[in-house]
Structure 1
């Protein structure tokens, strides 16, 4: 008797926490299933998907760096949200077809929802990064009525991404290096302003260069959100806490997006609520 399984693919992949998350849920629900991490290089994507397509036990995969855009041309169909984002982080076999989804959008929004449910005079987010994860972040924020300042090493790429994802919006593109130097900008300090600063790059991740962000670019009362999960407590978040600001770590988004993927892989809702605390303990967070 064989066991249905799903997995996460990327390169590198050893640092992924996804197997621990999905494994925890499978154990809690008593489901017959497995979830693992598989390193797949860029030149191996085609062969990997062809092999998995023919495996009746394969329930799909999550997709992480650097494949979230590269896999699109290898799939049979995209969910409308994934097509709008232009990035895929979940692939599911459906009636012989490989279908691409993006669960990063709802996963990113999940920990922000209590704040977004409130009324605000104005909403603005400074988003650092222009890769596949940033595409999901920008899409989510624009749909939540947030004005986005998108920073990238190439401001022209940032501008093109905004024009693609939020045409006609009053959004702004800027050089990532702008945030590395101090500023004396006078931020709006009125009550009722929602400000968010998001690191959607790999900077600050284990094995990557640090993120250069000067805290003088922080509006009063801003929320700092780092999608990096290794390390979980990044220098970016520590600096924000040191300034007395609220923070959201990358595990919040990872668990949120995994929830939506798990439902598609295994046909069940994962245990959440109080189980999230147990899961974080299991992950050492």
Structure 2
């Protein structure tokens, strides 16, 4: 059983909007399981100025650290005093740790994606594999960096090709912009980082293609449903969320997450079934 005293460590999730976030459910369940004197809350700054004020509160010692979600990931990266190599490559941060008046930035989004693939598509070997990323926005950036770092050859397909080319140039490591149906030729993995259903039909993918959607609302997106109907292996966004939560927990609370899977709790909260 967790306890809250005057020595409690305070951390949380920052975004706008953030009321839909499942991160407090994950972290507070782990806190309770470990009996930590800590709490993980949600913060909703009104704007960039509000976010900067919250970061200053962290510098002043009022917070141990925060996870960061849209629209503040790039600002979090810019306000940090030190930046991990992972965050530097992705150009954004989803973890800020406050220590001795300084702000340390890191990104666990890519690690979360790789964890989800290992969990739900364990046979997939990324080394040398052609991978298609649908989208070139903030959600795609850390994912592309992680996939490229794992040895995949990433093709970015985006409505605006210039944005895909800019992301490819930023990441390097065998990443390229692509378009047309040829982009999907031989793909071992197709990841949707768009907020809408892609116009491509998974029924046209090769039988060994793994299909992933980074969103978890809804969990069974139209894209994943179509992929499953085509007999393809699918990976959902909830697995990615759980995957990035573990390194976040270690950073924010200096503790190893307990050995219990928060997925059933999250499914119950979402009103979803496996």
Place the TM-score, normalised by the shorter chain, in its bin.
Answer: 0.7 to 0.9
Equivalences for residues 124-273 of structure 1 within 5 A: 124-166=130-172, 169=174, 171-174=175-178, 178=180, 187-188=185-186, 195-203=188-196, 210-272=197-259
- How many Å apart are 1:185 and its aligned residue? 9.0
2:55 to 42, 49, 60: 49
For 1:10 and 1:271, the matched residues in 2 are separated by: 26
For 1:120 and 1:39, the matched residues in 2 are separated by: 37
For 2:105 and 2:127, the matched residues in 1 are separated by: 36
Distance 1:48 1:217, change over 3 A: farther
TM-score by length of structure 2 reads 0.86
Q: Secondary structure at the match of 1:263?
A: helix
Gaps of 5+ in 2: none
2:87 is aligned with 1:82 = yes
For residue 117 of structure 2, what is the aligned residue in structure 1?
112
- How many Å apart are 1:276 and its aligned residue? 4.1
Contact 1:187–1:220 (Cα < 8 Å) also in 2: no
Distance 1:265 1:238, change over 3 A: same
Q: Secondary structure at the match of 2:154?
A: strand
For 2:76 and 2:58, the matched residues in 1 are separated by: 14
2:14 to 9, 30, 50: 9
Aligned length: 264
- How many Å apart are 1:279 and its aligned residue? 3.9
Gaps of 5+ in 1: 189-193, 204-209
Distance 1:185 1:133, change over 3 A: closer
Contact 1:184–1:216 (Cα < 8 Å) also in 2: no
For 1:278 and 1:27, the matched residues in 2 are separated by: 16
